[in-house]
Chains A and B, each alone.
Chain A
Amino acid sequence: MNEPAPIVLVVDDEIQIRRFLRTGFELNGFVVHEAGTGAEAIRSATLRPIDLVIVDLGLPDMDGSEVVERIRSWSSVPIIVLSVRSTEAEKVHLLELGADDYVVKPFGMAELLARVRVALRRQMRAVSGEPTVKIGPLTIDLATRAVTLNGARLTLTPKEYRLLQVLAQHAGNVVTHQHLLKEVWGTIHVHDTHYLRIFVRKLRQKIEPHPDSPKILVTELGVGYRLAQSGSDAENGAGAEAPAKSES
Chain B
Amino acid sequence: MQTSVKFHRIRMELPGVCMTLGLVAILTLVLFAMVWGLGLEHGSVVYLLPVVIAATRWGIVQAIVAAVCGVLASAFFFYPPLYSFRITNPQEVLNLILFIFVAIVVSQLATQLKRQLETARQREIDLRDLYAFSRRLAVAFDVSDIHAAIEDHLATVMQRKVVLFASARDAFASSGRRAGGAVPEQVLAEVVEVASDRRDADNSGVTVTADSGDIWLIRAVSPKSSEFGVIAINLGRESREGSDEMRIRVDAVLADATATLERLGVAHAISEARMRSQTEQLREALIGSVSHELRTPLASILGAATVLSAAPALANEKKLRALVHDVRDEAERLNNDIQNLLDASRISSDGVKPHIEWADPADIVNSAIERCRNRMSDRRIAVNLPADLPLIHVDPVLVQQALVQIFDNAVKYSHSGSQITVAARARDGRMILSVSDQGAGLTAAEQSKIWDRFARGERHAATTSGSGLGLWIANAFIAVNGGKINAISEGPGLGTAMAIELPVMQATVTQMEDDTDE
Instruction: Give A residues with C-beta under 8 Å from B.
Output: 14, 16-17, 19-21, 23-24, 27, 84-86, 88-89, 105-110, 155-161, 177, 193-195, 197-201, 211-214, 219, 221-222, 237-244, 246, 248
Contacts and interface: CB of A to CB of B under 8 A. Distances in A.
Given A219-B366, A222-B395, A158 B300 contact: no
Contacts of B343: 86
B303 A27 contact: no
Majority secondary structure, B binding face: helix
Contacts of B300: 14, 16-17, 19-20
B295 interface: yes
A243 B306 contact: yes
A27 B311 contact: yes
Given A106-B299, A107-B299, 13 more contacts: A14-B296, A20-B300, A20-B307, A24-B310, A27-B307, A110-B310, A198-B391, A213-B383, A219-B360, A221-B363, A222-B396, A241-B332, A242-B374
Interface stretch (B128-136, B151-159, B351-359): B351-359
Contact of A241 (B339, B374, B385): B374
A157 to B, nearest CB: 5
A16 B302 CA distance: 11
Contacts of B367: 219, 221
Nearest to A111: B306
A82 to B, nearest CB: 9
Given A16-B297, A155-B518, A243-B309, A89 B374 contact: no
A72 B395 CA distance: 31
Given A106-B299, A243-B306, A193 B357 contact: yes
Interface in B146-167: none
A157 B303 contact: no
B303 A201 contact: no
A74 B397 CA distance: 34
B211 interface: no
Interface string B360-398: 101110110011011000000001010100010001110
Contacts of B362: 212
A107 B303 contact: yes
A85 B355 CA distance: 14
A54 to B, nearest CB: 12
Interface in B453-503: none
Nearest to A25: B307
Contacts of A84: 295
26 contacts: A14-B296, A23-B304, A86-B342, A105-B295, A106-B299, A106-B332, A107-B302, A108-B302, A109-B303, A157-B517, A161-B518, A177-B357, A197-B359, A197-B363, A198-B391, A198-B509, A213-B383, A214-B366, A219-B363, A221-B363, A221-B364, A222-B397, A239-B373, A239-B374, A240-B371, A243-B309
Given A158-B516, A198-B391, A198-B509, A221 B307 contact: no
B298 interface: yes
A110 B371 contact: no
A109 B303 CA distance: 6
Contacts of A177: 357
B312 interface: yes
A153 to B, nearest CB: 11
Interface of B: 295-300, 302-304, 306-307, 309-312, 325, 328, 331-332, 335, 339, 342-343, 346, 355, 357-360, 362-364, 366-367, 370-371, 373-374, 383, 385, 387, 391, 395-397, 400, 507-509, 512, 515-518
A190 to B, nearest CB: 12
Contacts of B395: 222
A106 B331 contact: yes
B509 A109 contact: no
A136 to B, nearest CB: 17
A197 B360 CA distance: 6
A221 to B, nearest CB: 5
Nearest to B296: A14
Contact of B518 (A106, A110, A158, A213): A158
Contact of A24 (B296, B303, B363): B303
Nearest to B507: A194
A109 to B, nearest CB: 4
A240 B488 CA distance: 31
A182 to B, nearest CB: 15
Nearest to A220: B367
A200 B517 contact: no
A27 B366 contact: no
B348 to A, nearest CB: 15
B306 A157 contact: no
Nearest to B386: A212
